Every structure is written in C-alpha cells, then in structure tokens.
Structure 1
Amino acid sequence: MFATRIVSRQVFGAPRWAQARFVSTLEGNPHIYVFPSERPSNSYILSLLPSEPVNPDLAIGVSSKLPPTPDSLTENPKFLSILQEVLAKHAHEDPDAQSQAQVMASTSGANLYTGGVLTAHRRGKRRRSEMGDSSGGASGQGGAGSAGRGGWIHVSDSRRPPEFGRIAWPEDIFGSLEVDGNGQFVGGDGKYQASGTYRMITRNGILGLTPFLREKLVQRLRELEK
C-alpha cells in the first residue's frame, strides 16, 4: 500500500552544488515526509512538514518499519490534538463540508448523499447494527432528521470513502458538524465535536485530508514550528 519516494528540495544560501537535498515521502501520500529516527533506532518519523531537523512533537508519529502499518505506527497524541484543533476551527469552512450541508437540507435529503458522511437516522442504525456495538462518538449521533430538518454531517478521512448511503467507519471519522434545516452550520461553525474514535492509520491507509483542511493543518504546524 505504501512505499517511499524521493523528492528534491532547494536549500537557499548554500553553494549551487549543495543546493539539492532529498526528502523521502510515502508513495501515494506525497504530503507525508519520512525521516530516519534516532530514538528508537531503525525507525522512521512521519511528518507533514519537510523541515529538518524534524520536530517530533509536530510529527504524525513514529513507525518501526516502512511501509507503516497499524501495528508499526506509534501515533503522536500531540499531533492528534493539533489536528482536532484545526478541524474545530476550520472544518465548517471546507468547501466539501459546505456542499454536504447543502445536500442535507435539499429535497433529496441525507439519504441520497453519495459521500456517505451525511446520515439519516435510520441509515445510521443500519450501519451500527451491521458493525455490532463498535460504533461510537460522532458515528453514534447519526444524522438526525431528513431533508429540511437538519442534522449532522461527519468529517471523515478520505482513505476509505463509504458506499452509497452509508457513513464512514468510526475509525475514519474525525468528528461531526451540526447543520440546520436550511443547510447552515448551527452557531455559524457547526459546533464541531470530535468523534474520539479516529485512528491515524488503518489497514486502508494513513491520514487523508481534503486539500483545504490539509493546507490549514500545515499552516498551523508551521506556526508552531517557528
């Protein structure tokens, strides 16, 4: 699923012959950079920032092998906290989330949204029954109501898009935003609620954000890096 690839960077202020530097990224995930880790040895730091030396407090986590797996990756709780901070501030500004909110309020209602992050109550029940009692957090909220009544949209990882009319697995849901019957976010920002069930990596892949949210997250990481 994963491999590494090498990308070059320019180092300004250095002699021309020394300007090319090479940074590994995960193949299929060009926004995730890979750095060798000294502690523990023979492991790799995964980060959304290409900066060296890498700041482990801002990294996604450390993997004991490449490609990373759910068993090899040790998630960085500080990064997850930063991620949720960014989502709470900007998720309602994401064009994808805004589009989903409008669909929920349309005459088609949540049941017809193909992305699966909008859920009508009965759909949520069906999904949870299929999954046993493993669902929770945002996924357990379902998408109360139907067209014209509002409800919840789930902000989900893009690594495993759900099937038509379904919601994402709990491990893929970052959190939820509340939408009113007019397709507007309640309180102006949707009152984002973290799911508490999200996992940075699963068998289906590692962290996947929309371009808008990834940009906001990288901006925040760069601020903290300074």
Structure 2
Amino acid sequence: MFAARAFGRQARVLPKWTQFRCVSTLEGSPYIYVFPNEQPSGTHVLSLLPSEPVNPDLAIGLATQLPPTTDTFKENPKFLNIVQDVLSEYAHEDPDAKSQAQVMVSVAGANLNSGGVLLTGRRGKRRGDDSSSGASGQGGAGSGGRGGWIHISDGRRPPDYGRISWPEDMFGSLEVDANGQFVGDNGNYQPSGTYRILTRDGIFGLSPFLREKLVRKLRELEK
C-alpha cells in the first residue's frame, strides 16, 4: 500500500557536482518523504519535509521496513504534539469544518449526519458496521437548530452512514452553536488523545488546508 516511490533522476550528462539525490515518497501519500536512517541502520525516516538532514523531532516516525506496517512503524509523539497545536489554532478555519458545521445544524444535516462527522484528507476503504462507534456512544451528536460537536478525522477509513470515526482515526472535535458557528476563538477544539498515525487502513493524512498549515509550522520549527 505504501511502497516507496522515487522522484528525480541523476543527470548522467552533467558534471558530478550538479547531480542531485533522488527524493522518495510513499506511494499513495506523495506528501510523505522517505529517507534512509543511519542509526539504527536499515530503518527509514518518514517526514512531511523534503529537506535533509531530517530533524528527528519533526519527523512523522521511523519504519523498519517499507511499506510500513503497524508492527514496523514507530510514531513520533513530538510530531503529534505539533499536529495538535496546529489543529487547535487552525481547525476551525478549515473550509471542510465550516461546511460541516453548517450542515450539522440544518434539518437536512441532522438527517444526513447525525453524528456530526467531519472527514478530512484522503478517501479510504469503508469500515464495517460497529454499533459501539455510533454518535450516541461518542457524545458527538448534533441536530438541527441545537448545535453540537463535529469531529476532525483522518479520512482513511470513512465511517458508515450516521456514524462517527473510530477513535484511532480521530484527531479531535470542534464545538458548534445552534447557528452553525464555532464556539469560542477556536471552536473549543478538544484533542481526542486517541489518534494513531498508522493503522491497518492507512497512514497519516489531513485536508489540504490543514496539511499546508502543518507544513508551514514544521518549516518554521526547522529553521
């Protein structure tokens, strides 16, 4: 699912000092760069930044094989902290979040998305039915004219009709008032504390808007 893909090629007709290193990314996730890691040898560093050397504090994590699996990948908790900082600041500005907030408080929205679900990032395969992940069980339900909570999720495993994402796919939640507006300065963003970078259904993904904000933050920290 995540075989490394290389971009660029050495220009054989050019002088040696003008040649450049290939940059590899994960297939299906062209925004995730893969670099060989010297210590420990045989491992790979995954990063949202294409620059070398990779700052380990800013990397997504380490993989002992490609494609990475849940058994061969170690996520970087410092990276997750940065992600949550960015979401706390910008999640309520995401066009997807704004749209979902309006849908949730409408009568039609209450019928279509009783769980107040917000999906971001790539579309993945759908999970099977699981009553334990229903909106009523997660406390994330919203309905027409009442407000509630919408959930920012990875989107690698879209929930079924009327459901919310599984905990391992959920970044956090935003509070919406009865008019479809976010509560407080940042929608009272609440981290879920349960998100996992890699699951059997896929690897880390955000909406284009939020990913751009995250990459910008990482570049600032890199400097």
TM-score (norm 1): 0.85
Decide which moves more: 158-167 or 97-106.
158-167
RMSD: 2.6
Q: 2: CA distance between counterparts of 1:142 and 1:128?
A: 18
In 2, the alpha carbon distance for the partners of 1:164 and 1:173 equals 17
Q: What's the counterpart of residue 6 of structure 1?
A: 6
Q: Could you tell me which of 116, 139, 142 is aligned with 1:141?
A: 139
Tell me: CA distance 1:67–1:176, structure 2 relative to 1, closer, same or farther (3 Å): same
Which digits, 9 at most, give the CA deviation of each residue in 1:40-69, with x for residues without a partner? Answer: 111100000000111111000001111011
TM-fit CA distance, 1:113: 3.0
* Residues 116 and 164, structure 1, Cα contact 8 Å, conserved in 2: no
2:52 pairs with 1:52: yes
Secondary structure at the aligned position of 1:36 is classed as: strand
| AA at the equivalent of 2:192 | S
Contact 2:104 2:116 in 1 (8 A): no
Counterparts of 1:209 and 1:115, CA distance in 2: 20
For residue 196 of structure 1, what is the amino acid of its counterpart?
G
Q: Which amino acid aligns with 2:169?
A: D
Residue 173 in structure 1 maps to residue 170 in structure 2? yes
214-223 or 101-110: bigger deviation: 101-110
User: Could you give the per-residue CA deviations for residues 133-188 of structure 1, whole angstroms, max 9, x where no partner exists?
Assistant: xx9xxx83322x41100000000002111122211111000000000010000014
Structure 2 gaps of 5+ residues are: 119-127
Residue 159 of structure 1 aligns to a residue whose secondary structure is: coil
In 1, Cα distance between equivalents of 2:178 and 2:111:
15
Q: Quick one: distance in 1 between partners of 2:218 and 2:46?
A: 14
State the secondary structure of the residue aligned to 1:79: helix
Q: Please state whether the residue corresponding to 2:181 is helix, strand or coil.
A: coil
- The one-letter amino acid paired with 1:47 is S
TM-score normalised by length of structure 2? 0.86
Counterpart in the other structure of 2:73: 73
Give the corresponding residue for 1:198: 195
Structure 2 residue aligned with 1:186, among 175, 183, 186? 183
In structure 2, what is the Cα distance between the partners aligned to 1:116 and 1:190? 14
**2:43 maps to amino acid:** S
Per-residue deviation, 1:17: 6.2
Q: Whole-Å Cα distance in 2 between the matches of residues 199 and 64 of structure 1?
A: 18
2:147 aligns with 150
Q: Say how many residue pairs are matched.
A: 209
The one-character-per-residue Cα deviations of 1:16-60 (angstroms, maximum 9, x if unpaired) are: 962543111000000000001112111100000000111111000
Structure 2 Cα separation of the partners of residues 200 and 178 of structure 1: 24
* Preserved contact between residue 114 and residue 163 of structure 1 (Cα < 8 Å): no
**Conserved 8 A contact 2:116-2:149:** no
**Within 1, Cα distance between the matches of 2:116 and 2:72?**
29
CA distance in 1, matches of 2:116, 2:99: 13
Find the residue that maps to 1:25 and give its secondary structure. Answer: strand
In structure 1, the gaps of 5 or more residues are 119-126
Aligned mates of 1:73, 1:39 — CA distance in 2: 15
Identity within the alignment, %: 68
Q: Which residue is equivalent to 1:123?
A: none
**Distance in 1, Cα, partners of 2:217 & 2:198:** 21
Q: State whether residues 152 and 173 of structure 2, in contact with CA within 8 Å, keep that contact through their aligned partners in structure 1.
A: yes
Aligned counterpart, 1:103: 103
Paired with 2:57 and 2:132, the residues of 1 have a C-alpha distance of: 34
In structure 2, the CA distance between the partners of 1:128 and 1:208, relative to structure 1 (3 Å rule), is: same
1:102 aligns to what SS in structure 2? helix
Structure 1 residue 164 corresponds to structure 2 residue 165: no
Q: In 2, distance between residues paired with 1:35 and 1:129?
A: 38
